Each structure stands twice: as structure tokens, then as C-alpha cells.
Amino acid sequence: MLGCFCLISTGQNFAQPSRFSSNKFINEKGDTLNYRLLSPDYNTSRKYPLVIFLHGSGERGKDNDAQLKWGVMNFATDQMMVLHPAIVVAPQCPEKQDWTKSMDILYQLIQKLLKDSPVDVSRIYITGISMGGFGTFEAISRYPDLFAAAVPVCGGGDLKKAPLFAHMPMWIFAGAEDPAVNPQLSFSMVDAITKAGGHPGFTQYPEVGHFSWLAAYSDPHMMEWLFRQHK
């Protein structure tokens, strides 16, 4: 069942962590994946897009809170929840793991959400930052028919797998001076997808290091583009 959120009038338009319910998914093997869930307007007559947000390496752990630090809160502002109401799930990768190792249980969580929540299956989106950018490429290479669009931010992936998801609408972001994830990884992926017949969007921010997600998720044009995508 979807969690609920409370709107607190503060006179400001800051996303409140309390809007994300705290949840735990346990699969049949007993493996656990913590996640936070943003629920849209309580309206039983509609179905909503599903946004999967994958955090970076610094937010791994078991507190089920650190993954809200960067990026995902942009989906939970008053303005976004009015203009683009969506179900947003932010799983937390366990310590010493990455999204490649956690991809199977993440997929199982997505399948549970599709079963239990009012998801528009033609509008499932995935995005992530840094380690989550790599995780985004991993997810669309494993499940290319699941997602309607992808937004990898300062990530990279296996160039040989580009033909698997070249058909997918995609907008790739990077910082020109990123010391943590070489922006050439994004350049190379754009080139590989293009050679495979795709038409990816690509934005590289000048004079920006690793925090390219600050501009990416604050870009209303990107958000409008993302929520227009359908399978």
C-alpha cells in the first residue's frame, strides 16, 4: 500500500523528508532492501508515473534516510507534486554493495509496486547519480523493455550493451570538471548509443565538478521532457 505524506505550511517550497514514507522490502530469500516512497495525491481514479531514483556511493547504508540527501527531493516540492504527480521510490543500497549487486532485489521491489500501487506501466522512469548513474545504465541494459525513459547523471556503463537500450528516450548529464567520474564515460556512452541508432540527449555543465545533479534535477525543461515520455 502506498504511504501517505503531510503538507506542512511553512511559507517556503522546500521538500520535506516526511513526505517519503519509510519502507522495507523482503524478498522470498529473506534479502532486505530499505526504501523511501513518495506518494502522489490520493486519487483512486488515476494511475501515476513511477520514478526509480538510485543514489550515489556516499549514501549507502541501513538508516533508510541518507538516500534522500541529493536529487530525489526535487521530485517532492509543492510545485513538482502539482505539475508532475508521481510515485517516487528511493531504495538504499546496502553498505559495501553497488547497484549491480542489488539489481535483482530492486527489480523485485519494482514488480511489487506495479502489483500493489496505481502505476501507469507506460511511464516508468529511472534516474540516478554517480554510482546511481552507473546503476541506471545497468538497469536499462538488464530490463530495456521496462522503462519509458532514463536520466543517468555523472555515470557510465558497458558500451557493448548500448544497442540493448538505444531505442529508449534518454538524457545524460555530466560535469565538465568532474574529478570523481570522468565525463568521458558519458561522452562514450552517448557515442555508442548514437552509433546503435539512438538519439540521446546530453548536457555537460561547464565549470561543474561532481555535483552536476544539482543543475540537472533543477532544470524544469528536463522534468517536463521526462514526464512526457511514454512507452
90 vs 64: CA distance, rounded Å: 9
Average pLDDT, the chain: 92
Which strands sit side by side in the sheet containing 48-54, from one edge to the other?
Answer: 20-26, 32-38, 87-92, 48-54, 119-129, 149-153, 171-175, 201-205
CA 210: distance to chain centroid? Answer: 17
- Residue 207 sits at φ, ψ, to 5 deg, of 60, 30
Answer whether 199's CB lies under 8 Å from 225's CB: no
Cβ–Cβ < 8 Å for 198, 167: yes
pLDDT digits (tens, 9 = 90+) for 210-221: 999 999 999 999
pLDDT at 194: 98
Mean pLDDT of 90-97: 95
- DSSP 3-state of 24: strand
pLDDT in tens, 43-67: 778 999 999 999 999 999 999 999 9
State the CB neighbour count (10 A cutoff) for residue 12.
8
Q: Binning pLDDT at 50, 70 and 90, where does residue 42 land?
A: confident
Per DSSP, 42 falls in state -
Among the four given CATH numbers 2.60.120.260, 1.10.150.20, 3.40.50.1820, 3.40.50.2000, the one describing domain 18-228:
3.40.50.1820
What is the pLDDT confidence band of residue 17, given thresholds at 50, 70 and 90?
low
DSSP H or E stretch at residue 88:
strand 87-92
Tens of pLDDT, residue by residue over 114-173, are: 999 999 999 999 999 999 999 999 999 999 999 999 999 999 999 999 999 999 999 999
Q: What is the pTM for the complete model shown? A: 0.91
When pLDDT is cut at 50, 70 and 90, the band that residue 18 belongs to is confident
Give which of 171, 39, 172 is closest to 118, Cα–Cα. Answer: 39
Beta bridge pairs of residue 37 = 21, 89
